[in-house]
Structure 1
């Protein structure tokens, strides 16, 4: 025998794992507008005549009550057999007399798999949520597979990185796909995607995953799974491109740019759908502001990515709405977004780049960690990102770790490729002075004078004089 708790738990799971919505709670009538299907659960004792009347009532009032003419009607008789003699071909009548019958109903594939989970809540819990008129409550009930998949991917990647025992955020996260202007302009375009799935620490991951779970479920419910993932990826990409346009000296990781896009898309939906009152719009705007403020509590916060994601998510929400209203305006909006993207790319590749690897090498040397500095420097050469400053720093590392002769050999190697480098020429002048080869020292210093400002030369000469003393 099926209990009231089991029945309401079934209604809850049908709503959760399919496109069905409870239309008439008092009649236990559920509708699926996309598939044009109707389900009716009947608990009162039925005869052939009463069932015929019920079917006629559903058909006659279909358009006025549910908004469409159903292609398929399923009637489930709870704790009673199907009356003999029913011959109406417009509907299918089924008997539900035990819990196993509830799990075999033809609803959806997710329902067939996940409905077997035991109902752990009370009857009042399921009933209260099913009869609620709050659209947010209904959205949070829904099973949102893409949101859950994104959560799983982010968590798995975090655990994998944790297993690698990362001990240096900057070096390790750049090597595993963090967003860096220098790497991007040198051809590592994948970073605008990979950085969206990396997180600094557990608190960073927890905050973003909580936000993704809440806003992801809402946006996936309102827009659908396909549009949701498009909004998520486009928002993350656009946020990262905006960041690369204005932030060239730092690196960043995290899903907050894409999540900001979900907030923007959610707000756009609330504005254009006209299903929400002014109070709900204000509450959403406040929630958006709180999210942006709380995200600033973490280190290496990328506000450019947040604002870029927020703008693009809102823009995508309006674009998808415009697509249904006017294709012409939709195509104009797409062209506008494409034009903005082109401008961002032009700015990204025109601004002066900051060699982030040289900066990390220099910082490691200042901290006295020459082993780490050597590792970073070696990675620069492996990637083909070396410049004259790289040779300069690598020579200093070899001078410290091995001998001055090894450092001189490295600087000479760099001068063969960058003969006009003032840094390398000046460094060689110092090195020759240290070996008492004043003639060579003077030659390299004169070379350095050709390529740098007079004031800088004065400073160099002062340093050389001090070195000689």
Structure 2
């Protein structure tokens, strides 16, 4: 009766795979063991089916432990959703001693184990018990066929199952090999060439150079230079910035272009770059540049892929990708210089753009036009909010911080240019902007301009001791000792704990 048991097993598996689309994880035709999987009602059901005669309870216990250990060894293959493990044995007779409670010792384990022993007397009931949690109808498996007919049909069923496993694997592999990363290499080359050119004509760490060649600079954008939203994605601030972005582009771009194809990849990359750039314009008043927004858009594209192919995504890149995104966002929150607006905006833009174009070999979905409208509406809203300064109303405060850092870096010409433009709409930071510009003028040898700025600072903020002190130094240098002494005395009065202020005051008072 061995043939009858073997036929019953393979007929049951054939029904589950070809009628109800179970995933074939493993097939061993010689030993009669098959592993299947299917997600039902948010649970991953993994089945280990085999036909063998188990005569004693301890034999069954060893089989259960072996199957459970095999499942745990391949636990990473079954991410996403709660896991249910089903072990099915097809046999002519059950074990001769008591065996029904052998599964109880697995009740407290992390993964629930369900046992179905299909002996000749219990096949129909066990089959019904198995298919109930799988939410499928019980098939009619005819056991009245002649043994010769059963044996004749076995090779075909086994061959079809092995073929189905191969087809499923090839279909999964083809998802990651739809396109070739041609545009990714072009983008890498363009970004590197632009970086080298800027280093030849100036410096990629120079604010002045970056603004001149298309960095995201809000005042210029508000004057109509909207093209900066795009051109800024090809500029990078220093070698480390370029290296990190190009490394990410190489790996993420290759993956996304292989999955989506070149045309869809182009739409996703540039749509994400524009979305991230517009988010930066809305939120971040500082000068910004880099492909980070577009690169975060590639993260968004992979997340959209994960929504469409949940199990495949979680088995391959899923958790690692989510961790990397989390680390990058956390890093952006902790490091003030990171343009979080571009990063998060790019991530959202990339996900939305992926919904707009969808994945290859998918029919047009009714929500794709909705994704287009969502993208366009969000872009329009960001333009409006950026122009009205709803989120970056304290733009001048950011400029004050920026020029302070530039003065420390001795980039005095950049300070003069930025503060002069910011002073057109100082937003309550006129004294601070003038003070930093006066310092840049002073260090550039333009004493008259520095003195004029300091006079204005003192008229606006008479309690700013540093302005009195710097003006005293200038007046001393010009030989106007009486005026210098007056300013030095005021600085010492306002900040009596400053040794430099006290020393200059004593020197000019003699």
SS at match of 1:347: coil
- Judge which range, 257-266 or 311-320, deviates more: 311-320
Distance (Å, rounded) in 2 between the aligned partners of 1:357 and 1:277: 44
In structure 1, the residue matched to 2:452 is: 412
Q: Is the 8 A contact 2:485 2:505 kept in 1?
A: no
Deviations 1:70-99 (A, max 9, x none): xxxxxxxxxxxxxxxxxxxxxxxxxxxxxx
Alpha-carbon distance, 1:258 to partner: 0.8
Q: Is the 8 A contact 1:392 1:427 kept in 2?
A: no
Alpha-carbon distance, 1:309 to partner: 1.3
In structure 2, the residue matched to 1:150 is: 187
Deviations 1:98-121 (A, max 9, x none): xxxxxxxxxxxxxxxxxxxxxxxx
In structure 1, the residue matched to 2:269 is: 232
Alignment equivalent of 2:365, drawn from 317, 324, 338: 324
Match runs of 1:439-450 below 5 Å = 441=486
In structure 2, the residue matched to 1:436 is: 481
Does 1:459 pair with 2:504?
A: no
Alpha-carbon distance, 1:314 to partner: 1.3
Match runs of 1:349-428 below 5 Å = 349-353=392-396, 354-355=398-399, 358-364=403-409, 369=410, 372-373=411-412, 375-380=413-418, 389=432, 391-396=434-439, 399=442, 402=445, 407-408=447-448, 410-412=450-452, 420=460, 422=462, 426=468
Q: Is the 8 A contact 2:301 2:354 kept in 1?
A: yes
Q: 1:209 to 1:175 in 2, by over 3 A?
A: same
Distance (Å, rounded) in 2 between the aligned partners of 1:153 and 1:254: 13
In structure 1, the residue matched to 2:294 is: 258
| CA RMSD in angstroms, aligned pairs only | 4.9
Alignment equivalent of 1:307, drawn from 320, 344, 353: 344
Alpha-carbon distance, 1:150 to partner: 1.9
Alignment equivalent of 2:319, drawn from 286, 290, 304: 286
Deviations 1:121-143 (A, max 9, x none): xxxxxxxxx99715555654734
Alpha-carbon distance, 1:191 to partner: 4.0
Distance (Å, rounded) in 2 between the aligned partners of 1:425 and 1:271: 59
Q: Is the 8 A contact 2:268 2:301 kept in 1?
A: yes
Alpha-carbon distance, 1:156 to partner: 1.4
In structure 2, the residue matched to 1:268 is: 304
Deviations 1:332-387 (A, max 9, x none): 534652465257524344234322553244313xxxx5xx43x3345447868686
- Judge which range, 408-417 or 313-322, deviates more: 408-417
In structure 2, the residue matched to 1:40 is: none
Distance (Å, rounded) in 2 between the aligned partners of 1:419 and 1:216: 55
In structure 2, the residue matched to 1:347 is: 390
Distance (Å, rounded) in 1 between the aligned partners of 2:247 and 2:474: 60
Match runs of 1:95-174 below 5 Å = 133-136=170-173, 139-140=176-177, 142-164=179-201, 166=203, 168=205, 173=210
Taking structure 2 as the reference length, what is the TM-score of the superposition?
0.48
Taking structure 1 as the reference length, what is the TM-score of the superposition?
0.51
SS at match of 2:186: helix
In structure 2, the residue matched to 1:43 is: none
Q: 1:320 to 1:294 in 2, by over 3 A?
A: same
Alignment equivalent of 1:212, drawn from 231, 249, 264: 249
Q: Is the 8 A contact 1:242 1:344 kept in 2?
A: no
Q: Is the 8 A contact 1:377 1:394 kept in 2?
A: yes
Unmatched tracts of structure 2, length 5 or more: 1-166, 425-429
Alpha-carbon distance, 1:146 to partner: 3.4
> Which of the pair has more CA radius of gyration?
2
Alpha-carbon distance, 1:182 to partner: 7.0
Q: 1:184 to 1:288 in 2, by over 3 A?
A: farther
Q: Is the 8 A contact 2:438 2:451 kept in 1?
A: yes
